[in-house]
Amino acid sequence: MQDSLPENNLVMTGEVVKAPKQSSSPAGIAHSQFSIDHKSIQNEGGFNRQAFVRIQVVATGELSQLTRELVAGSMVKVSGFINRHESRNGNPLLVLHAQQIEMIN
């Protein structure tokens, strides 16, 4: 048996695609949803490879309040965990649940 919990950590830097969508749960918990585009060159097996990812980010509670400052084009560093959501048509999506968001100048 394992002594620690399985790891689920992701740190992603990227550009905010459009202003975050703010909402509240029936219990009154604030939520914010937005997407970021990440572009970089990564080394894989000794070769450079272009990486492009667009990922949805969800921020909850106090952290969602910080996203009100974000606009399209803002650069951010988001740290959190990945969770599976389903799109409206039932397709699985990986979503980054933010635990920390930093603005990048």
Fold (CATH) for 10-104: OB fold (Dihydrolipoamide Acetyltransferase, E2P) (2.40.50)
Domain ranges of the chain: 10-104
- Give the integer Cα–Cα distance in Å for 17 and 27: 28
The pLDDT of residue 4? 78
The pLDDT of residue 2? 59
The pLDDT of residue 7? 93
Classify 61 in phi/psi space as left (phi over 0), alpha (psi -120 to 50) or beta. Answer: left
The pLDDT of residue 66? 87
pTM of the model: 0.87
The pLDDT of residue 105? 80
> Closest by alpha carbon to 93, among 104, 102, 82, 78?
82
Spell out the per-residue pLDDT of the chain, length 105, in tens: 556 788 999 999 999 999 999 999 899 999 999 999 999 999 999 999 999 999 999 999 999 988 988 999 999 999 999 999 988 899 999 999 999 999 998
The pLDDT of residue 47? 97
